[in-house]
Structure 1
Amino acid sequence: MSTFEELVEEGASAPVEGWDFSWFAGRATEERPPWGYARLVGRRMAEVEAGLDVQTGGGEVLATIPTPPPRLAATESWPPNVAVARRNLAPLGATVHEVADEADLPFPDGSFDLVVSRHPTMTRWDEIARVLRPGGTYLSQQIGNGTMRELTVAMMGPVPAGTARDTGRAVAAAEAAGLRVVDLREVALRAEFFDVGAVVHFLRKVIWTVPGFTVDAYRDQLRAVHERIQAEGRFLAWSRRFLIEAVKPDDPAGAPRPAS
């Protein structure tokens, strides 16, 4: 059986580029949302002329679509992920643009029939609305409030849950940008970590769970998590997801006005 130090070193040395989570096989599990985001995106992309994936990561989800539209683009902010995405999406003929998450999108108004985004760090609703064509759709699976809070508390102690990822805020922001929300679903999903190395790798990869995480800064807390896993067989946490779909009205005159 691996020691605490050996497990921590494994988690600390595993590469974090892209959004491929296959490293966790046998070490951690997380339930999948029931709506099947990747399948939804695949079906929608096959029906449009122009599609965009915002904050694509390494392009892992977009790369699974069976039939790409004639024009396909993606954005990503982290340079190592940009290189991975360009490699993964080249077979689809997609262009990948390096764009900061908070920046304007580098596309003309009304460029896309469909914009998608999986787990964006933030959503520029005004830019989504701008690059959508009238009648176009934004489809996004997002991280909900309190996701993996059990890990955050184990590392940082009690912290406020926050409201930045509240579904009500997302709906209000979409409507303020002139979009009409046509679907909204929420779910809580069971996640289990079976060794502390998986915890370390997850915290390095999903950096907003414990901002500024390093092994050295949190070694004592990691040891406590290790001992808990040894005693209980796993560390249990809950991830929260929501699916939001919003449409840009065909008649802009009938749409809500963006907030000033």
Structure 2
Amino acid sequence: MRIDGGHTRPVTFEDLVAEGAAVPVEGWDFSWFAGRATEERPSWGYAKLMGERMAHARRALDLQTGGGEVLAGIPKPPPVLAATEGWPPNAALARRRLAPFGATVAEVGENDPLPFADGSFDLVVSRHPVTVPWQEIARVLAPGGTYLSQQIGSGSVRELAAAMMGSQPVTEAQRPERIRADATAAGLMVVDLRAEALRMEFFDIAAVIVFLRKVIWTVPGFTVDAYRDQLRALHERIERNGPFIAHSQRVLIEAVRPAG
């Protein structure tokens, strides 16, 4: 057993696998990873930027809100606040968490049309959307309205994906230049676009398992049973060499629907 912060932690592969498989993964609360994994934060501070935009908005929408964790951190909600979420357990969490803000949460799949009228919002935000419905975003934005999003860039955490599945081609869809092109094609004017690569460290295989169960697009279809051999190899690598290093890719975009 390893002593960490006054608590004992299992160190055998099977114990760590059982621990990682048992952790609840609903919502976007990553506090469980404290002491188990780290990730650098983008320099632009998305939560602060979003809070500033929300404080000046009248009607705002948060797309793919997860359990509403990030949205619940805004200091001043707008008079009208709505959110969407496609996974029912997360949608239920978001409804409870955002109720004090008077927010409505619509259960909407990532690829489904948004259930809002044209020009309904002067602010649309989204942190780490699985897909970006550019045409729908442009449709529900009022003229002069803003879309602010921190997105997952191409090749994010590719080192971990390679450890599980072998080397994978890097998609072009989330490169900054493609994001700009997609936003422009939807009729939006990009006013800010930035990208950063951020160091990640995984200190044990339980943290890897929880991350892959929670961030499901890293290794699509991941299960412990299907990837047990790869997990064991990575566990032995961590035990031998120390933390497993990967890099997340993040892109910030702010775009405006032109007035008139």
TM-score by length of 1: 0.95
Corresponding position: 1:10 with 2:5? no
Corresponding position: 1:219 with 2:228? yes
Q: Which residue of 1 aligns with 2:149?
A: 140
C-alpha displacement of 1:94: 0.5
Corresponding position: 1:104 with 2:113? yes
Q: Which residue of 2 aligns with 1:84?
A: 93
C-alpha displacement of 1:171: 0.9
**2: CA distance, partners of 1:37 / 1:159:** 29
Match of 2:223, as an amino acid? T
Match of 1:161, as an amino acid? V
Equivalence map 1:238-249=2 (5 Å): 238-249=247-258
C-alpha displacement of 1:161: 1.5
C-alpha displacement of 1:66: 0.6
C-alpha displacement of 1:141: 0.1
C-alpha displacement of 1:168: 1.5
C-alpha displacement of 1:21: 0.4
Structure 1: stretches of 5+ with no match in the other structure: 252-260
**1: CA distance, partners of 2:52 / 2:64:** 20
Q: Which residue of 2 aligns with 1:183?
A: 192
C-alpha displacement of 1:248: 0.4
Corresponding position: 1:28 with 2:37? yes
Helix, strand or coil: the match of 1:242?
Answer: strand
Helix, strand or coil: the match of 2:207?
Answer: helix
**2: CA distance, partners of 1:225 / 1:26:** 18
**2: CA distance, partners of 1:177 / 1:158:** 33
Aligned 8 A contact 2:176 2:194 in 1: no
Helix, strand or coil: the match of 2:239?
Answer: helix
Structure 2: stretches of 5+ with no match in the other structure: 2-10
* Structure 1: 4+ residue segments shifted above 4 A: none
**2: CA distance, partners of 1:159 / 1:191:** 19
Aligned 8 A contact 2:193 2:252 in 1: yes
**1: CA distance, partners of 2:168 / 2:55:** 43
Q: Which residue of 2 aligns with 1:45?
A: 54
TM-score by length of 2: 0.95
Helix, strand or coil: the match of 2:216?
Answer: coil
C-alpha displacement of 1:165: 1.4
C-alpha displacement of 1:144: 0.3
C-alpha displacement of 1:99: 0.3
Identity, % of aligned positions = 71
